[in-house]
Amino acid sequence: MANPRILVFAGSHRAGSINTRLAGIVVKELAMMDVPVTQISLADYPMPLYDGDLEAASGQPETAKALHRLITEHQGVFIASPEYNAGMTGLLKNTIDWVSRIKTQPSPWKGRAYAIGAASGGNLGGYRGLLQLRQTLGLGLGATVIPEMTVVMRAGDAFAEHGGFKDEAMTNTMRTMLTRLVDEAARYVR
């Protein structure tokens, strides 16, 4: 069976974003597994704050349509999601909300597998924000979100110079997640 294509992005486009760094490690790891991977930055998909009046007047932003299309061209998605006040970032939620307003088929939520991860300087590693993201993707949009996650705690000291993690256990956790993601996504390769 052909390898599935995996899309990777972070819920932050801040210069120096630790979640973009996590996304980069995932991209490198997938490339080492010979899995075709696309990494994007949400900075390239700017969207106004969701407003029903704006949508009624002008429809959905072209950037939301482009992201909708891009997701449907992949069988797996990894999102590195920072935690803001125990939830996901406004950037990520707003992006998901706009994309969810586009009803053209195929659906960007169904017919593919999602994996999620987070990095934070705190002791919980952004875990609580992932619970919200899982709820939005799974309960809100019907996406399949695999149980395995990559949660990078105390991120200030977690990343190694060469681009991976200092902790081998963290590397193994990520590999377990990616193996499951690729396996699940492979079921959707047509």
Residues that bind ligand FMN in the complex, under the rule CB under 6 A: 10, 12, 14, 17-20, 82-86, 120, 122, 124, 126
Question: Least Å distance between CB 82 and ligand FMN?
Answer: 3
Q: Are 116 and 145 in contact (CB under 8 A)?
A: yes
CB of 133 to ligand FMN, least distance (A): 13
Identity of the amino acid at 152: V
Cβ distance to ligand FMN smaller for residue 17 or 72: 17
Our CB check for ligand FMN shows the closer of 77 and 185 to be 77
Q: How far is the CB of 16 from ligand FMN (least distance, A)?
A: 7
Q: How far is the CB of 72 from ligand FMN (least distance, A)?
A: 26
Give whichever of 4 and 87 is closer to ligand FMN, judged by the CB atom.
87
Which of 105, 100, 128, 102 lies closest to 116, judged by CA?
128
CB of 25 to ligand FMN, least distance (A): 13
In sequence order, which ranges of the chain are alpha helices (DSSP H)? 18-32, 52-58, 62-72, 90-100, 127-134, 168-186
Residue type, position 83, single letter: E
Closest CA to 7 of 141, 158, 188: 188
Residue number, 17 or 100, with CB nearest to ligand FMN: 17
Burial of 130 (0-12, 13-18, 19+ CB in 10 A): buried
Pick between residue 14 and residue 187 the one whose CB is nearest to ligand FMN: 14
94-136-44 Cα angle (round to 5): 35
